[in-house]
Amino acid sequence: MTEPRISDSSCKSVFLTRPEVAGRLENLPYGGQSLFSRDAHSNRSCYGLAVYANIHGVMSFVEEVAATPGGAGIRACIQCGVCSGSCPMADHMEYPPRKMIAMIRAGLRDEVLSSNAPWHCLSCYMCTVRCPRGVKPTELAHALESLATEHGYRVKDTRTPAMYRSFVQSIRGNGRVHEFGMMFRYFLSTSPMAAIKMTPLAIKLFLRQRMPLVPRHTKGKEDLARIIARFREVRGNP
Ligand code: SF4
Ligand code: SF4
Protein backbone atom coordinates (compact mmCIF):
# COMPACT_ATOMS: atom_id res chain seq x y z
CA MET A 1 0.00 0.00 0.00
CA THR A 2 1.27 3.49 -0.81
CA GLU A 3 2.03 5.30 2.35
CA PRO A 4 -0.68 7.86 2.94
CA ARG A 5 0.47 11.26 4.06
CA ILE A 6 -1.21 14.47 4.92
CA SER A 7 -0.24 18.10 4.78
CA ASP A 8 1.22 19.42 7.98
CA SER A 9 -1.06 22.42 8.15
CA SER A 10 -4.19 20.32 7.54
CA CYS A 11 -3.39 17.69 10.11
CA LYS A 12 -2.62 20.32 12.70
CA SER A 13 -6.01 21.86 12.08
CA VAL A 14 -8.01 18.75 12.95
CA PHE A 15 -6.20 15.57 13.75
CA LEU A 16 -3.44 16.85 15.94
CA THR A 17 -6.16 18.24 18.15
CA ARG A 18 -7.71 14.75 18.32
CA PRO A 19 -5.21 12.73 20.34
CA GLU A 20 -7.58 9.79 20.74
CA VAL A 21 -7.79 9.32 16.98
CA ALA A 22 -4.11 10.07 16.49
CA GLY A 23 -3.19 7.42 19.03
CA ARG A 24 -5.19 4.74 17.24
CA LEU A 25 -3.79 5.72 13.85
CA GLU A 26 -0.25 5.51 15.14
CA ASN A 27 -0.71 1.78 15.58
CA LEU A 28 -1.64 1.10 11.96
CA PRO A 29 1.02 -0.51 9.77
CA TYR A 30 2.19 1.44 6.75
CA GLY A 31 5.83 0.91 6.08
CA GLY A 32 6.94 1.71 9.59
CA GLN A 33 6.53 5.47 9.28
CA SER A 34 3.88 7.22 11.24
CA LEU A 35 1.04 8.66 9.25
CA PHE A 36 0.80 11.17 11.97
CA SER A 37 4.18 12.74 11.74
CA ARG A 38 4.36 16.50 11.83
CA ASP A 39 7.12 16.11 9.25
CA ALA A 40 4.93 14.26 6.75
CA HIS A 41 4.11 16.51 3.80
CA SER A 42 2.11 15.82 0.67
CA ASN A 43 -1.02 16.95 -1.05
CA ARG A 44 -3.18 14.59 0.97
CA SER A 45 -5.62 16.52 3.08
CA CYS A 46 -6.67 15.95 6.60
CA TYR A 47 -9.96 14.84 5.21
CA GLY A 48 -8.21 12.19 3.12
CA LEU A 49 -6.78 10.89 6.33
CA ALA A 50 -10.25 10.72 7.82
CA VAL A 51 -11.35 8.49 4.96
CA TYR A 52 -8.27 6.34 5.32
CA ALA A 53 -8.97 5.98 9.01
CA ASN A 54 -12.57 5.10 8.33
CA ILE A 55 -11.62 2.42 5.81
CA HIS A 56 -9.33 0.86 8.39
CA GLY A 57 -12.00 0.92 11.04
CA VAL A 58 -10.12 3.46 13.11
CA MET A 59 -12.73 6.12 12.62
CA SER A 60 -16.45 5.70 12.32
CA PHE A 61 -18.49 7.42 9.64
CA VAL A 62 -19.65 9.97 12.18
CA GLU A 63 -16.01 10.86 12.90
CA GLU A 64 -15.33 11.18 9.18
CA VAL A 65 -18.28 13.56 8.82
CA ALA A 66 -17.30 15.51 11.94
CA ALA A 67 -13.81 16.03 10.48
CA THR A 68 -15.24 17.45 7.25
CA PRO A 69 -15.66 21.25 7.09
CA GLY A 70 -19.29 21.86 8.08
CA GLY A 71 -19.68 18.50 9.79
CA ALA A 72 -18.62 19.55 13.26
CA GLY A 73 -21.34 19.48 15.88
CA ILE A 74 -23.10 16.38 14.64
CA ARG A 75 -22.66 14.61 17.99
CA ALA A 76 -24.70 17.26 19.78
CA CYS A 77 -27.91 16.17 18.06
CA ILE A 78 -30.62 14.89 20.43
CA GLN A 79 -32.91 13.64 17.64
CA CYS A 80 -35.72 16.02 18.56
CA GLY A 81 -36.84 16.33 14.93
CA VAL A 82 -37.25 20.11 14.90
CA CYS A 83 -35.03 20.33 11.82
CA SER A 84 -37.10 17.84 9.82
CA GLY A 85 -40.33 19.51 10.93
CA SER A 86 -38.97 22.88 9.75
CA CYS A 87 -37.47 21.75 6.47
CA PRO A 88 -39.44 22.82 3.37
CA MET A 89 -37.75 20.11 1.34
CA ALA A 90 -38.20 17.20 3.77
CA ASP A 91 -40.91 15.60 1.61
CA HIS A 92 -38.56 15.53 -1.37
CA MET A 93 -35.60 14.10 0.50
CA GLU A 94 -35.01 10.39 0.81
CA TYR A 95 -33.98 11.07 4.39
CA PRO A 96 -34.95 14.28 6.18
CA PRO A 97 -32.25 15.98 8.30
CA ARG A 98 -33.00 14.24 11.61
CA LYS A 99 -33.00 10.81 10.00
CA MET A 100 -29.87 11.57 8.02
CA ILE A 101 -28.02 12.42 11.23
CA ALA A 102 -29.24 9.18 12.83
CA MET A 103 -28.03 7.23 9.79
CA ILE A 104 -24.61 8.87 9.91
CA ARG A 105 -24.28 7.85 13.53
CA ALA A 106 -25.35 4.34 12.61
CA GLY A 107 -22.49 4.19 10.11
CA LEU A 108 -24.68 3.89 6.99
CA ARG A 109 -22.08 5.56 4.79
CA ASP A 110 -23.17 4.25 1.39
CA GLU A 111 -26.85 4.92 2.03
CA VAL A 112 -26.22 8.50 3.16
CA LEU A 113 -23.67 9.44 0.51
CA SER A 114 -25.71 8.03 -2.35
CA SER A 115 -28.97 9.64 -1.24
CA ASN A 116 -30.53 12.74 -2.73
CA ALA A 117 -31.15 14.34 0.67
CA PRO A 118 -28.17 16.72 0.93
CA TRP A 119 -28.60 17.78 -2.69
CA HIS A 120 -32.19 18.87 -2.12
CA CYS A 121 -31.19 21.28 0.65
CA LEU A 122 -32.12 24.85 -0.30
CA SER A 123 -29.81 26.46 2.25
CA CYS A 124 -32.77 28.24 3.78
CA TYR A 125 -31.14 27.74 7.24
CA MET A 126 -34.50 27.15 8.94
CA CYS A 127 -33.18 23.96 10.57
CA THR A 128 -29.99 25.65 11.70
CA VAL A 129 -31.79 28.61 13.23
CA ARG A 130 -34.26 26.40 15.09
CA CYS A 131 -32.02 23.59 16.30
CA PRO A 132 -32.01 23.65 20.11
CA ARG A 133 -28.54 22.08 20.24
CA GLY A 134 -26.71 24.38 17.86
CA VAL A 135 -26.25 21.66 15.24
CA LYS A 136 -26.02 23.09 11.73
CA PRO A 137 -27.83 20.65 9.42
CA THR A 138 -27.42 23.11 6.52
CA GLU A 139 -23.65 22.94 6.73
CA LEU A 140 -23.89 19.24 7.32
CA ALA A 141 -25.78 18.83 4.05
CA HIS A 142 -23.01 20.67 2.21
CA ALA A 143 -20.38 18.57 3.97
CA LEU A 144 -22.15 15.44 2.74
CA GLU A 145 -22.29 16.84 -0.79
CA SER A 146 -18.52 17.30 -0.65
CA LEU A 147 -17.97 13.78 0.62
CA ALA A 148 -20.29 12.24 -1.96
CA THR A 149 -18.66 14.16 -4.81
CA GLU A 150 -15.13 13.45 -3.71
CA HIS A 151 -15.82 9.73 -3.51
CA GLY A 152 -17.74 9.48 -6.76
CA TYR A 153 -21.10 8.47 -5.34
CA ARG A 154 -23.86 8.46 -7.90
CA VAL A 155 -26.68 10.59 -6.63
CA LYS A 156 -30.20 9.68 -7.62
CA ASP A 157 -32.92 12.11 -8.51
CA THR A 158 -31.00 15.37 -8.57
CA ARG A 159 -29.34 17.65 -11.08
CA THR A 160 -27.75 19.83 -8.44
CA PRO A 161 -24.18 18.54 -9.02
CA ALA A 162 -24.45 19.55 -12.68
CA MET A 163 -25.66 22.99 -11.61
CA TYR A 164 -22.74 23.37 -9.17
CA ARG A 165 -20.24 22.38 -11.87
CA SER A 166 -21.70 24.82 -14.35
CA PHE A 167 -21.69 27.58 -11.72
CA VAL A 168 -18.02 27.03 -10.85
CA GLN A 169 -17.00 26.93 -14.52
CA SER A 170 -18.73 30.26 -15.06
CA ILE A 171 -17.05 31.84 -12.04
CA ARG A 172 -13.65 30.46 -13.02
CA GLY A 173 -13.88 31.82 -16.55
CA ASN A 174 -15.44 35.22 -15.84
CA GLY A 175 -14.87 35.99 -12.20
CA ARG A 176 -18.65 36.19 -11.83
CA VAL A 177 -21.69 34.27 -12.97
CA HIS A 178 -22.67 34.60 -16.60
CA GLU A 179 -26.24 33.36 -16.40
CA PHE A 180 -26.68 32.52 -20.06
CA GLY A 181 -23.46 30.53 -20.28
CA MET A 182 -24.10 28.80 -16.98
CA MET A 183 -27.61 27.68 -17.93
CA PHE A 184 -26.46 26.67 -21.41
CA ARG A 185 -23.82 24.35 -19.96
CA TYR A 186 -26.25 23.06 -17.35
CA PHE A 187 -28.96 22.09 -19.84
CA LEU A 188 -26.39 20.66 -22.24
CA SER A 189 -25.14 18.28 -19.55
CA THR A 190 -28.55 17.34 -18.14
CA SER A 191 -31.51 17.76 -20.46
CA PRO A 192 -31.03 19.72 -23.72
CA MET A 193 -34.77 19.36 -24.47
CA ALA A 194 -35.62 21.20 -21.26
CA ALA A 195 -33.71 24.19 -22.62
CA ILE A 196 -36.28 24.53 -25.39
CA LYS A 197 -39.04 24.98 -22.82
CA MET A 198 -37.02 27.72 -21.15
CA THR A 199 -36.43 29.64 -24.39
CA PRO A 200 -39.42 32.04 -24.04
CA LEU A 201 -38.25 33.00 -20.54
CA ALA A 202 -34.67 33.45 -21.77
CA ILE A 203 -35.89 35.76 -24.56
CA LYS A 204 -37.87 37.86 -22.06
CA LEU A 205 -34.86 38.17 -19.78
CA PHE A 206 -32.65 39.09 -22.74
CA LEU A 207 -35.05 41.79 -23.93
CA ARG A 208 -35.10 43.28 -20.43
CA GLN A 209 -31.29 43.22 -20.41
CA ARG A 210 -31.27 40.75 -17.51
CA MET A 211 -29.45 38.01 -19.38
CA PRO A 212 -26.60 39.31 -21.57
CA LEU A 213 -25.33 36.86 -24.17
CA VAL A 214 -21.73 38.03 -23.84
CA PRO A 215 -20.11 37.52 -20.41
CA ARG A 216 -18.74 40.42 -18.44
CA HIS A 217 -15.48 39.81 -16.65
CA THR A 218 -14.60 41.11 -13.24
CA LYS A 219 -11.32 42.59 -12.15
CA GLY A 220 -9.10 39.97 -10.55
CA LYS A 221 -10.79 36.98 -12.17
CA GLU A 222 -7.39 35.32 -12.54
CA ASP A 223 -6.96 35.45 -8.76
CA LEU A 224 -10.32 33.77 -8.30
CA ALA A 225 -9.40 31.12 -10.87
CA ARG A 226 -6.19 30.47 -8.92
CA ILE A 227 -8.18 30.03 -5.69
CA ILE A 228 -10.45 27.49 -7.37
CA ALA A 229 -7.47 25.68 -8.88
CA ARG A 230 -5.78 25.52 -5.47
CA PHE A 231 -8.95 24.20 -3.87
CA ARG A 232 -9.13 21.43 -6.47
CA GLU A 233 -5.49 20.62 -5.91
CA VAL A 234 -6.07 20.19 -2.18
CA ARG A 235 -9.45 18.48 -2.26
CA GLY A 236 -9.19 16.64 -5.56
CA ASN A 237 -10.98 17.36 -8.82
CA PRO A 238 -14.01 15.13 -9.05
S1 SF4 B 1 -33.13 20.08 15.44
FE2 SF4 B 1 -30.98 19.80 16.02
S3 SF4 B 1 -31.01 18.43 17.81
FE4 SF4 B 1 -33.03 18.32 16.83
S5 SF4 B 1 -32.89 16.52 15.44
FE6 SF4 B 1 -32.37 18.34 14.25
S7 SF4 B 1 -30.12 18.52 14.37
FE8 SF4 B 1 -30.79 17.12 16.00
S1 SF4 C 1 -31.33 24.52 5.21
FE2 SF4 C 1 -31.69 22.68 3.95
S3 SF4 C 1 -31.98 21.01 5.43
FE4 SF4 C 1 -32.22 22.95 6.55
S5 SF4 C 1 -34.42 23.40 6.54
FE6 SF4 C 1 -33.54 24.46 4.77
S7 SF4 C 1 -33.73 23.01 3.06
FE8 SF4 C 1 -34.03 21.82 4.95
The domains of the chain are located at 8-59, 74-138, 160-235
CA-CA distance, 209 to 26, in Å (whole number)? Answer: 60
> In angstroms, what is the span from residue 216 Cα to ligand 2's centroid?
32
Residue 97, φ and ψ in degrees, nearest 5: -50, -45
Region for 72 from its dihedrals, namely left if φ exceeds 0, alpha if ψ lies in -120 to 50, beta otherwise: beta
> In angstroms, what is the span from residue 210 Cα to ligand 2's centroid?
29
pLDDT in 10s for each residue of the chain, 238 residues:
333 333 444 444 445 445 555 555 555 554 333 444 434 434 344 445 555 555 555 568 888 888 877 788 888 899 999 999 999 999 999 999 999 999 998 888 888 999 999 999 999 999 999 999 999 999 999 989 988 887 888 887 788 888 988 998 899 888 889 999 999 999 988 888 888 888 899 899 989 988 888 888 888 888 888 988 887 777 655 4
Tell me which residue has its CA closest to atom 6 in ligand 2: 124
pTM, entire model: 0.69
- Taking alpha carbons only, the member of 197, 205, 138 closest to residue 178 is 205
Residue 4 is classified by DSSP as P
Closest atom of ligand 1 relative to the 78 alpha carbon: 3
